[in-house]
Amino acid sequence: MPSFDIVNKVDAQTLDNAINTAKKEILNRFDFRDSKSTIDLDKKTSVIHVVTENDMRIKAIQDAIITRMAKQGLDAKALDLGEEQYASGNMVKKDIKVREGIDKEIAKKIVKLIKDANLKVQPAIMDDQVRVTGKKIDDLQAVIALLRGADLGVPLQFVNMKS
């Protein structure tokens, strides 16, 4: 029986390339001259640590990261932009989490969307992904089209298509 998996994964190497390119761009900008700004990617926890002098520079760094991710083909919806924290002195710190996997609430929304469409497929939640099985590949492609049109707040990839 044909099936595919719905996942939310971010390629670590592509993300690292996007962060490094954004870092170079920020270092070369005139408005960041004599700035003590740092951008670091913690690959184990998938968190981007940003430290700079003020909120305006935090926003500029954030925009540079999002722009570079888009140019590398990554979806910026994978970023959890959290709150700024004031570090020691006049520095502002922000931790941007990179979300991977589909949490239970979003998985339930996906299953509900698929079931409400009255397609002849069976969605099943499996840990941090959703598996969809059906008798016809056309029904599976209809599910993919349905989910691409829906805004669920996380980027979705459709992998492991088996016929």
Instruction: Please state which CATH class domain 3-8+101-162 belongs to.
Output: alpha beta
The Cα–Cα gap between 19 and 26 comes to 10
pLDDT tens digits, residue range 125-140?
988 888 999 898 888 8
- CATH fold for domain 12-98: Alpha-Beta Plaits (3.30.70)
pTM exceeds cut of 0.85? no
Instruction: Give me the residue spans of the domains in the chain.
Output: 3-8+101-162, 12-98
pLDDT tens digits, residue range 1-44?
888 988 988 888 999 999 999 999 988 888 888 888 889 999 89
Here the tokens at position 131 are 């598996």
Which burial class, exposed, middle or buried, applies to 79 when counting CB atoms under 10 A from its CB (0-12, 13-18, 19+)? buried
